[in-house]
Amino acid sequence: MRIGLFTDTYFPQVSGVATSIQTLKQVLEEAGHQVYIFTTTDKNLGSYNDPTIIRLPSVPFISFTDRRVAYRGLLSSYKIAKKYRLDIIHTQTEFNVGVLGKILGRALKIPVVHTYHTQYEDYVNYIAKGMIIRPSMVKYIMRGYLKDLDGLICPSRIVLNLMNNYEIKVPKRIIPTGIYLENYRRDDISPQMIADLRAELNLRADEKILLSLSRVSYEKNIQAILSSLPDVLSQIQTVKLVVVGDGPYLETLKAQAKELGITEHVVFTGMISHEKTALYYKAADFFISASTSETQGLTYTESLASGTPIIAQTNPYLDDLISDSMFGVLYADPDDLAGAILEALLVKPEKDMTQWDEKLYQISAQHFGQSVYQFYLDVLISKSQKTTPISLTIESSRTEKSVKLVRSAMSLPKKAVKKTARTSVKVVKVPRHMIRSIKDFLD
């Protein structure tokens, strides 16, 4: 099968979406499929010559300058997609490149499926401080993007419930993103390497380690973990929280730890290399997260693959993942976090390795790839059974809707640029040029 993945974010940008896309590409290629990624350029990339990754000219996005917005490349993308004879298009983001994927799918008369990765209600405040898009608007914006797809992949029951709440009627399937287990099992990591890391972080051998590993931002709710530590320490003094990562909330968290008088029990490491993450997971007694903004959270599965159980606030995704107490402890009420930590530290069940291996297969990249491929097949079969072909020349209403969709998707930067001085002026000039190209192409 020849598959086109369309995304506004990809490596070298670091995100869970980029990791999910890379994993899907690799596992599908290992199964013999041809996979092409259509994405944005990136100033940190340098030269690139991978023919399976098509880079579209782009500029920094408003308020997220480490993310990019494509501003041209429609016609060249169409020619490339036609040359590669794509069988299906799989969009991964809802911005310009995602819209481009939908347009090309209609032009090439092939199915378009989408994976919904992000709960935007938790992030709209980053865009001009919420002055342009409010959380209540997200539902209606997403309806416009999702309503005419051939299929929708939900990485978790959280997303499925959200899509049902949005009243999205297209065929949906829950397919969690998988990981390459061998990157985290890491039999090469010895007890001595773990002891050396603990010594490097000034952690004693008898201390219990709680690991937080994420972007250090407000919505990750690391502040809740810090707030719970005094209650935990009143019962168990030999507890340390290791906060791995960097981000805009780091200095605030350091100040909070000082105010709470727990600086001796908190270690802030800053960013670490991806190759070291398995070592940190294995050195910890528990991976801990109080975030409520995750639709799935690859760090949870990475931790389990490393052999480390989890402490986290319950949600439908984690209810499915933490199916036995050996995999971790979940709490429902934010006030119960300290109690959950104490429960995890004091009552740690033995591992049933048969159940653990079954869980690892469920979260593996291979299972992920097989599930997505099966969904592709089901969508293709369903599409082939429809008797009325899509015609761009006679369905003028669809053409107008596509143009309106692109116009709405690209009008956001024009408004928000007044709020963000760092945004390139090129963004303001984008809409008319791209919309004119789309009209010329579709007419």
Name the pLDDT band for 45 (thresholds 50, 70, 90): confident
Q: Are 124 and 37 in contact (CB under 8 A)?
A: no
Identify the band that residue 145 occupies on the pLDDT scale cut at 50, 70 and 90.
Answer: very high
Question: What tokens appear for 214 in the block?
Answer: 């994420």
Please give the pLDDT value at position 308: 98
**CA–centroid distance for 377 within its chain:** 24
- pLDDT at position 59, please? 87
Residue 139 and residue 39 share a domain: yes
Q: At what angle do helices 353-362 and 365-384 cross, to 10 degrees?
A: 40
357 found inside a domain: no
Question: d(Cα 386, Cα 389) in Å, to the nearest integer?
Answer: 7
Q: How confident is the model at residue 296 (pLDDT cuts 50, 70, 90)?
A: confident
Residues 33 and 150 in one domain: yes
Which residue do the tokens 């199916």 mark? 323
Predicted TM-score (pTM) above 0.95: no
| Residue where a domain terminates, one of 329, 352, 375 | 352
Number of domains in the chain: 2
Q: Judge whether 408 and 434 are in contact, CB under 8 Å.
A: no
46 vs 317, more confident: 317
Lowest mean pLDDT among 288-292, 377-381, 398-402: 398-402
Q: Are residues 147 and 269 in the same domain?
A: no
Same-domain check for residues 279 and 202: yes
Measured distance CA(295)–CA(162) in Å, rounded: 10
- Asked if 195 and 255 sit in the same domain, the reply is yes
Whether 195 is covered by a domain: the verdict is yes
User: Do residue 195 and residue 332 come from a single domain?
Assistant: yes
- For residue 121, the model assigns a pLDDT of 78
State residue 63's pLDDT score: 58
| Strand 112-115, strand 151-154: pairing | parallel
Give residue 276's pLDDT: 96
Averaged pLDDT for residues 219-245: 97
pLDDT of 43 above 90: no
Based on the domain organization, do 197 and 320 belong to the same domain?
Answer: yes
Residue 360 forms part of a structural domain:
no
**Is residue 361 assigned to a domain?**
no
* pLDDT-derived band at 230, boundaries 50, 70, 90: very high
57, part of any domain: yes
Write down the pLDDT at residue 439: 44
In this structure, the number of other CB atoms found within 10 A of the CB of residue 70 comes to: 27
- Confirm whether 404 is domain-assigned: yes
Cβ-based neighbour number of residue 286 at 10 Å: 21
In tens, the pLDDT along 252-273 reads: 999 999 999 999 999 999 999 9
Best-predicted range by mean pLDDT among 8-12, 295-299, 435-439? 8-12
Whether residues 221 and 299 fall in one domain? yes
Q: What is the predicted pLDDT for the residue at 430?
A: 36
Residue, of 398 and 248, whose pLDDT is higher:
248
Whether 362 is in a domain gets the answer: no
Tokens of 290: 């109080």
Specify the pLDDT at position 131. Answer: 55
CA end-to-end span of the chain: 30
Question: Which pLDDT belongs to residue 122?
Answer: 67
DSSP character for 68? E
Please report, for the domain that includes residue 22, its CATH number. Answer: 3.40.50.2000
pLDDT of residue 401: 47
Length of the chain: 443
* Domain identity same for 165 and 213: no
How far is the C-alpha of 405 from the C-alpha of 74, rounded, in Å?
15
Q: What is the pLDDT of residues 71-90, one digit of tens each?
A: 889 999 999 999 999 999 99
Answer with the one of 327, 352, 377 that is the final residue of a domain: 352
User: pLDDT band at 322, cuts 50/70/90?
Assistant: very high
Q: Is the pLDDT of residue 438 over 70?
A: no
In a shared domain, residues 102 and 162 = yes
List the beta strands (DSSP E) in 197-335: 208-213, 239-244, 266-270, 286-289, 310-313, 328-331
**What pLDDT sits at residue 196?**
97
Q: State residue 319's pLDDT score.
A: 95
Directed axis angle between helix 16-30 and helix 365-384, to 10°? 80
> Residue range 297-306: average pLDDT?
95
Whether residue 196 is found in the same domain as residue 78: no
Tell me the two tokens of residue 254.
Answer: 């350091």
Q: Residue 275 — very low, low, confident or very high, per pLDDT cuts 50/70/90? A: very high
Residue 22 has pLDDT above 80, yes or no: yes
Q: What is the mean pLDDT of the chain?
A: 86
Whether the per-residue pLDDT at 331 is higher than 70: the answer is yes
CA 150 – CA 142 distance, rounded (Å): 15
Query: For residues 413-434, b (16+ Cβ closer than 10 Å) or e, as one string?
Result: beebbeebeebbebbeebbeeb
Alpha-helix residue ranges (DSSP H) falling in 172-266: 182-185, 191-200, 222-233, 250-260
Structure-token pair, residue 269: 């490491």
If asked whether residues 71 and 212 sit together in one domain, one would say no
Residue 9 has pLDDT above 70, yes or no: yes
CA separation (Å) from 276 to 186, 214, 434? 11, 14, 43
- Whether 332 is in a domain gets the answer yes
Which pairs with CB-CB distance under 8 Å and at least 24 residues apart come from 308-312?
308/211, 308/281, 308/282, 308/284, 309/344, 309/348, 310/286, 311/210, 311/286, 311/287, 311/340, 311/341, 311/344, 312/288
Distances (CA, A) of 401 to 18, 148, 392, 429: 29, 11, 12, 21
Residue 364 carries which DSSP code?
Answer: B
- Pair type for strands 172-174 and 266-270: unpaired
Domain boundary at 323, 352, 381, which?
352
Q: In the predicted model, what is the mean pLDDT of residues 58-63?
A: 76
Average pLDDT of span 123-147: 78
Taking residues 344-353, what's their average pLDDT?
A: 94
Which residue segment(s) compose the domain that 73 sits in? 2-178+367-442
The whole-angstrom separation of Cα 119 and Cα 142 is 11
Tell me which residue has tokens 């020349």.
393
pLDDT exceeds 90 at position 385: no
Q: Among 71-75, 125-129, 229-233, whose mean pLDDT is lowest?
A: 125-129
